[in-house]
Chains A and B, each alone.
Chain A
Amino acid sequence: MAKDITLAELQTMADRSGLQLTDEDLEKLLPGVNRSYNQILELRGLITDRTEPAAVFVASRTEKR
């Protein structure tokens, strides 16, 4: 399990994201943000180096008028 982020770290991240959040907002957010990070670690256990994301870019041709 990764180390949880702190309130101060969350404040820095919010500032860099252009978000003006109150201390109360950040305190409410913190548990959910840490829960999200822990979910990512679990998901990382499912994938291998060969796994591509489930998103496909399709090159499409533009016909001449």
Chain B
Amino acid sequence: MTPTELFHLSITEAASGLRRKEFSPVELAQACLKRIESLDGKLHSFITVTADLALEQARKTEQELRAGTNKGPLHGIPIALKDLYATKNIRTSCHSAVLQDWLPDHDATTVTKLREAGTILLGKLGMHEFAFGGPSVDAPFPAVRNPWNTAHIPGGSSSGSGAALAAGLSLGSLGSDTGGSIRTPSSHCGVVGMKPTYGRVSRCGVVPLSWSLDHAGPMARNVEDCAILLQAIAGYDPNDPASANVRVPDFRAELKNGIKSLRVGVPRANWFKENRGTDPETEGLFNDALRTLESLGAIVVEIDGQPFSLARKANQTILVAEAYAYHEKRFQEAPEKFGSSVRRRMLEGAFLRAADYITALRARTVLNEEIRANFSRVDVFATPTAPRPPEAFETIDPNEQNLRPSFTNPFNLTGLPAISFPCGFTKDNLPVGVQIVAQPFEEGTAFRVAYAYERATEWREHRPKL
């Protein structure tokens, strides 16, 4: 591999190369920065590139490695962050005119943790405005494009994270997920994304969309890299009221334990046929993935899909109510600063009564119990991540993006850990992902299933032609 192709390395490969002095942290950062310079003009995955900072951090890392300091597997690894993670003195725009020039005076807890782990910050990534709605057509920054076909959406809201990873612009990233915003772009861009258990990763310093549904989490090019990133950012944070004071296991330690006799529940009835239904090609690839899991020793069973399907309505009600409550003052003072799509959807929250919001929270109690009751029969749930492959920009209506059937948002409502990883490509060479959902604080089980599948297939070797 030439120095200019270092951007293709996984985090584990890059960490190994840095330790063996096959290349330096500066060469690795430069390779990513050159890749960004040559490709991002057509992908728009970055809002802000922090080239000077990245090179300064890389030079410092070089000295540290030379002196024998080892901060672990992320030491010297270039990463990029969704532009809603507060970064001290670095623009944090949320892809919105509302915060276009905001320079935070603090770092998010997760940003601090990644810096302490020795990562190199390449920049801040494009997203759906305030992590809501669809790709923005009237935001101050262009909509992110899918590296597999730039005429298609990359999925959102962590669209820049998905696109930058798939295109080889960054080795790791953080996204956020309120209804599927880590998992959907992971599926649409052919990468791996983990929405951890609610409370596992601090939300302190992550601009909220909906306090009770927001999850911060990692995205990467393979399962092990994703586990490494989660290891670095997980853990109790007293500055996040929802943070869970629970032990963080070694996520990499159980990756290779296999899935023999693991019971996989598929909530196919009702849910797959909801509204416009699941795309047949997507369902075919998902069924192939189930057969692969069976060949690895898993036992696949059908479970009741009814409560999963109903969860979307509670999720949407809570989301718009909390999102409007957070932005109310801004809507009263300057609603025109919001993009048309996000303005229209968030304003629905202004007209909900307190009793409506509480009804949704009470339904959340019921649905949570019903969904989790399935764990008496199975170890994990499996679904396609998205009902259909990434659509073309010209065919989508941004106002309808949050009203679509969703395989992801029930697990924001229930706070369960859920991972998306690639399970194949359509005839048009667009990626499709599968989602595995585990019990609370059992991210390790979801990683284990994803890792076993990933090693048994060759999807991780595919790269978009750019």
Q: Is B42 an interface residue (CB 8 A)?
A: no
Question: Which residue in B317, B335, B344 is a CB contact (below 8 Å) of A19?
Answer: B335
Please state if A39 and B335 are interface contacts (CB–CB under 8 Å): no
B314 to A, closest residue via Cβ: A43
Q: Is B39 an interface residue (CB 8 A)?
A: no
B367 to A, closest residue via Cβ: A46
Please state if A13 and B359 are interface contacts (CB–CB under 8 Å): no
B397-410 to A contact mask, C-beta < 8 Å, 1/0 = 00000010000000
Q: Is A7 an interface residue (CB 8 A)?
A: no
User: What CA separation (Å) do A63 and B356 show in the bound complex?
Assistant: 37
Q: Main SS of chain B's interface residues? A: helix
Question: Which residue in A14, A25, A40 is a CB contact (below 8 Å) of B356?
Answer: A40
Question: Which residue in A13, A17, A43, A47 is a CB contact (below 8 Å) of B313?
Answer: A43
B:323-380 near A, CB below 8 Å: 331-332, 335, 343-345, 347-348, 350-352, 356, 358-368
Please state if A32 and B359 are interface contacts (CB–CB under 8 Å): no
> Which A residues lie within 8 Å of B356 (CB)?
36-37, 40
> Which B residues lie within 8 Å of A40 (CB)?
317, 352, 356, 359-360
Q: Is B212 an interface residue (CB 8 A)?
A: yes
A48 to B, closest residue via Cβ: B366
- Point out which of B348, B351, B362, B365 has the most chain A C-beta atoms below 10 A from its C-beta: B351
Q: Is B320 an interface residue (CB 8 A)?
A: yes
> Which B residues lie within 8 Å of A35 (CB)?
403
Question: Which residue in B332, B343, B352, B365 is a CB contact (below 8 Å) of A36?
Answer: B352
User: What CA separation (Å) do A35 and B351 show in the bound complex?
Assistant: 12
Q: How many residues of A contact B (CB 8 A)?
A: 28
> Which A residues lie within 8 Å of B363 (CB)?
43-44, 46-47, 51
Give B84 Cβ to nearest chain A Cβ, in Å: 23
A7-28 to B contact mask, C-beta < 8 Å, 1/0 = 0001001100111110001001
B313 to A, closest residue via Cβ: A39
User: What CA separation (Å) do A51 and B310 show in the bound complex?
Assistant: 17
> Which A residues lie within 8 Å of B320 (CB)?
36
Please state if B335 and A53 are interface contacts (CB–CB under 8 Å): no
User: What CA separation (Å) do A51 and B206 show in the bound complex?
Assistant: 31
Question: Which residue in B313, B352, B358, B403 is a CB contact (below 8 Å) of A42?
Answer: B313
Known: A39-B316, A40-B359. A47 touches B348 (CB 8 A): no
Q: Is A59 an interface residue (CB 8 A)?
A: no
User: What CA separation (Å) do A44 and B366 show in the bound complex?
Assistant: 11
A54 to B, closest residue via Cβ: B364
Known: A33-B351, A47-B359. A39 touches B366 (CB 8 A): no
User: What CA separation (Å) do A13 and B324 show in the bound complex?
Assistant: 15
> Which B residues lie within 8 Å of A10 (CB)?
351
> Which B residues lie within 8 Å of A33 (CB)?
348, 351
Please state if B344 and A28 are interface contacts (CB–CB under 8 Å): yes
Give A38 Cβ to nearest chain B Cβ, in Å: 9
Give B337 Cβ to nearest chain A Cβ, in Å: 13
Known: A18-B332, A19-B331, A46-B366. A39 touches B358 (CB 8 A): no
Please state if A43 and B350 are interface contacts (CB–CB under 8 Å): no
Question: Which residue in B332, B344, B348, B360 is a CB contact (below 8 Å) of A43?
Answer: B360
Q: Is A1 an interface residue (CB 8 A)?
A: no
> Which B residues lie within 8 Å of A28 (CB)?
344
Known: A36-B317, A43-B360, A46-B366. A21 touches B335 (CB 8 A): yes
> Which A residues lie within 8 Å of B317 (CB)?
36, 39-40, 43
A interface with B by C-beta (< 8 Å):
10, 13-14, 17-21, 25, 28-29, 32-33, 35-37, 39-40, 42-44, 46-47, 51-55
The 3 A-B residue pairs with the shortest CB-CB distance in the complex, in nearest-first order: A53-B361, A43-B363, A54-B364
- Name 10 A/B residue pairs within 8 A (Cβ), A-sorted: A18-B332, A25-B343, A25-B344, A29-B347, A32-B344, A32-B348, A37-B356, A40-B317, A52-B365, A54-B364
14 other contacts beyond A13-B350, A14-B350, A44-B359, with CB at 8 A cut-off? A25-B343, A36-B316, A39-B316, A40-B352, A40-B356, A42-B313, A43-B359, A43-B360, A46-B310, A51-B365, A53-B362, A53-B364, A54-B361, A54-B368
